[in-house]
Structure 1
């Protein structure tokens, strides 16, 4: 902690970012304290970060996170042994750092991949250190303890794989098939989804529960439409018809402008970027692009509408009415049930994780 304190980062701030990371993966606050405790020790999780076909946007969003500044905390929470954008060495020295980390931490390091992998046989695309992206990926993945694809490009191909896909770009899980790969799609992906996943693995030796596409359920189980702040307008039939009209200015639903939120699984509507309220596409008045979905992002025209995956209105809030000035006993009761349910769920999750940790310790 002394290293962080010299940079103006207090223990309280350090605990805060670890707790936020724990919350991102659905773990209780005490799990965040345990993450911070382990990260503050000498046993920081080693991370090797590879870049392939991408724009570095996922790395950039990580560096612009502030709660506190992850750019200062990144060396306090993890041991970032190799990252071509952030590391000081280059050339042979950089390659030496990669080889040394792989040998020293074989079976323990977390491999984070940013960018799609070109598969064309001529190997002229994306060569780093004289090696093709496929060669480097397979070599580093073979000794990794966990593999995380950060961003849509690494998860399923993203922009590089858009038609006609001249480089044969694919996601990591198309080439690494002998061990689980956690996909955290997004353009860019939310950095706390990544940080929470890495710290969970480092602290408890487990990965988050994944859906059938390898995405953490804590972030991708629900559609953006379900938790969108404009959802009440959708249920009430209030839609913006074009950019800048009265409905658009009033915050009406953007579905008719081509919003892909009803078919896009992500937590953007709940976990905004760089902790700035409203810092996400719909928050600034633009339709969701569907970047976390391989069948939508960079595949479907921007202004085409999609089928609504879960069309029924949620039961956690009433339909829009002109007058919201009265708080009824019924609404208070519903709020009480929701809060009680969340508290109960948090207690059960904490109890289960505690039991699992105890069992692992005995084994």
Structure 2
């Protein structure tokens, strides 16, 4: 739709107003601008606008909103960010920053005002503690909190006790959440507990949302796409409110559809063409990976659109099935990696939803138990009479 649409006119105007409000906030990096940072790293104006156009499309906005997206990026440093590391491997941070060459996503992450980030900051010891305390006090009610890692609650929450004051990780997360304007759980560990929460969960690791009464936006994945991280931030910059969320508090713009819906192997699934074992002829011809354990039919994410390694590829493209890493308790509920799920085989559907269901249609209580109608779907596709 174009700008002539009344609803889009109103949205466009609200974005303009929001950006003007952000411009009035003090700039935290007077010595540089995002345009300078991008140019210094070999990207021109055209590259930047191409990237903003892609992010506009990812957020399901018309292309006419691209200039506003660019303006939003320019004021990204007006909102301070506190990034906490809890029980995790730092993979989410590493995947965002350790690409072979700088990407615009990672440059924007470098440009924003990170008031506290243990992996990146030079401060240590009491100075690091002081930085965190001062940032929470100075920007009380204004900062965005990003948390990477599950929150350990076992042994009276004594895990992750750090610093001279002996603060527990759980208490730090709760305190930082109370003073935040918005809270993002980055990665599956923070969103759902992750591998730390797998049975028997010795540290009592839980999702960030279980230790705070405030709404947490979950950006799951192991790791999540850098575009899902930056896109969620840009959504908040433009709208000034939380995005539309699914039943697991994931942004719908990124997690509305399943891996199965967007997969380049979907045509082979519809034709009933499956890889029976790794290395067979079907594998060589790019057949569907369901029978060798792909969890795409149960997993909501946009990996096939964003891909990884600077957009080069993603697991299914190179012949390995989706592990379901953006789903709650995937380590326990997704079963053996290279086998279909025994409790969700493809011979039945729930209420006719099955293969075409969404997280919202099925609901939080049924999503993890519903069967997926893959065989029925494939069978129907294979017995359709040929066109005359």
Give TM class, smaller chain: 0.7 to 0.9
TM-score by length of 2: 0.74
Cα offset for 1:7?
A: 4.3
**Does structure 1 conserve the Cα–Cα contact (< 8 Å) formed by 2:198 and 2:329?**
no
Cα offset for 1:58?
A: 0.8
Cα offset for 1:42?
A: 8.0
Cα offset for 1:9?
A: 4.0
- Structure 1 window deviating more from structure 2 (146-155 vs 302-311): it is 302-311
User: For 1:4-15, what aligned pairs fall within 5 Å after superposition?
Assistant: 4=37, 5-15=39-49
Counterpart check, 1:217 vs 2:239:
no
Match of 2:85 in 1: 51
User: What's the secondary structure of 2:57's corresponding residue?
Assistant: helix
- Structure 1 window deviating more from structure 2 (120-129 vs 214-223): it is 120-129
User: For 1:124-203, what aligned pairs fall within 5 Å after superposition?
Assistant: 124-129=158-163, 130-177=166-213, 179-203=214-238
- Structure 1 window deviating more from structure 2 (133-142 vs 82-91): it is 82-91
* CA offset digits 1:62-91 (Å, max 9, x no partner): 114668343333233x21111100112122
Match of 2:113 in 1: 79
Looking at structure 2, the residues matched to 149 and 143 of structure 1 have their Cα atoms a distance apart, in angstroms, of 15
Counterpart check, 1:227 vs 2:227:
no
- Structure 1 window deviating more from structure 2 (260-269 vs 6-15): it is 6-15
Cα offset for 1:43?
A: 5.3
**Does structure 1 conserve the Cα–Cα contact (< 8 Å) formed by 2:109 and 2:230?**
no
- Structure 1 window deviating more from structure 2 (55-64 vs 248-257): it is 55-64
Distance change in 2, residues 1:87/1:27 (3 Å): farther
Cα offset for 1:150?
A: 0.8
Looking at structure 2, the residues matched to 283 and 227 of structure 1 have their Cα atoms a distance apart, in angstroms, of 12
**Does structure 2 conserve the Cα–Cα contact (< 8 Å) formed by 1:54 and 1:153?**
yes
Cα offset for 1:234?
A: 1.1
The alignment's C-alpha RMSD in Å is 2.7
User: What's the secondary structure of 2:306's corresponding residue?
Assistant: coil
Cα offset for 1:204?
A: 2.4
User: What's the secondary structure of 2:218's corresponding residue?
Assistant: strand
Structure 1: unaligned runs, 5 residues or longer = 321-363
Cα offset for 1:127?
A: 2.1
Match of 1:240 in 2: 275
Looking at structure 2, the residues matched to 239 and 267 of structure 1 have their Cα atoms a distance apart, in angstroms, of 22
User: What's the secondary structure of 2:277's corresponding residue?
Assistant: coil
Cα offset for 1:17?
A: 3.5
User: What's the secondary structure of 2:114's corresponding residue?
Assistant: strand
**Does structure 2 conserve the Cα–Cα contact (< 8 Å) formed by 1:63 and 1:71?**
yes
**Does structure 1 conserve the Cα–Cα contact (< 8 Å) formed by 2:76 and 2:237?**
no
Count matched residues: 316
Distance change in 2, residues 1:199/1:45 (3 Å): farther
**Does structure 1 conserve the Cα–Cα contact (< 8 Å) formed by 2:48 and 2:104?**
no
Structure 2: unaligned runs, 5 residues or longer = 1-32, 347-353, 356-372, 383-388
Cα offset for 1:40?
A: 2.3
Distance change in 2, residues 1:281/1:249 (3 Å): same
Cα offset for 1:53?
A: 0.8
**Does structure 2 conserve the Cα–Cα contact (< 8 Å) formed by 1:24 and 1:193?**
no
* CA offset digits 1:170-227 (Å, max 9, x no partner): 00111112x2111111110111111111122123202221011101111212111111
Match of 2:71 in 1: 37
Looking at structure 2, the residues matched to 233 and 122 of structure 1 have their Cα atoms a distance apart, in angstroms, of 51
Looking at structure 1, the residues matched to 195 and 212 of structure 2 have their Cα atoms a distance apart, in angstroms, of 20
**Does structure 1 conserve the Cα–Cα contact (< 8 Å) formed by 2:220 and 2:326?**
yes
Cα offset for 1:94?
A: 1.8
